[in-house]
Amino acid sequence: MILIISGTNRPNSITLKVAKLYQQLLETRGQASDILDLQDLPIDFASPSLYKSELYSQEFLELRKRVAEAQKMVFIVPEYNCSYPGVLKAFIDGLEYPEALRRKKGALVGLSTGSQGGNIALSHLTDVLHYCGLHVLAQKPRFPYIHKHMQEGQFTNPLYKQLLEEQIDELLVF
């Protein structure tokens, strides 16, 4: 099973819509997947208890377990202030290190409302994931001006869908 991580906890995010679209494209290939939405993080997960596993909430332990069980992951990553969201970094920091990500495989998709499509965000996240031992697929589609190219949960730009489909083809054999 492939775990798709919606990389923000922002309500009604385009990120979650892209994650659901990714899941639909996987389903057309007969590939099972699950979405981990960072909106499901407990409200206090990033408190100092993040550094004391004995204080983790049951909700956070369940999310950690889903990551631990996944062999492949897809990170749908919005650009926030020229990087990726802090909540995603805090989530990664709360995973069991190094076992949670080591020797697993992942793919990244960048989103932005600006012209870069999350290019720097993906670079920053790739560095962190490599440090954690995750093998990152080289093909990283980036979608600039994402808010202009989605309608009713679907891409209006056919190139965007093509790029996701090409990444999925590579991820399935990665």
Inter-helix orientation angle 158-173/14-28, to 10°? 60
Half-sphere exposure of 81 (CA within 13 A, CB side): 3
Structural contact between residues 76 and 111, judged by C-beta atoms closer than 8 angstroms:
yes
56 C-beta neighbours (distance < 10 Å), count = 17
CATH code of the domain covering residue 92: 3.40.50.360
pLDDT in tens, 37-76: 999 999 887 777 667 677 778 888 899 999 999 999 999 9
Classified as helix, coil or strand, 104 is coil
The first and second tokens of residue 153, run together, are 């949960």
Q: Which domain holds residue 114?
A: 2-173
pLDDT in tens, 149-167: 999 999 999 999 999 999 9
- Integer-rounded Cα Rg, in Å, for the chain is 15
| Number of domains observed in the structure of the chain | 1
pTM of the model: 0.96
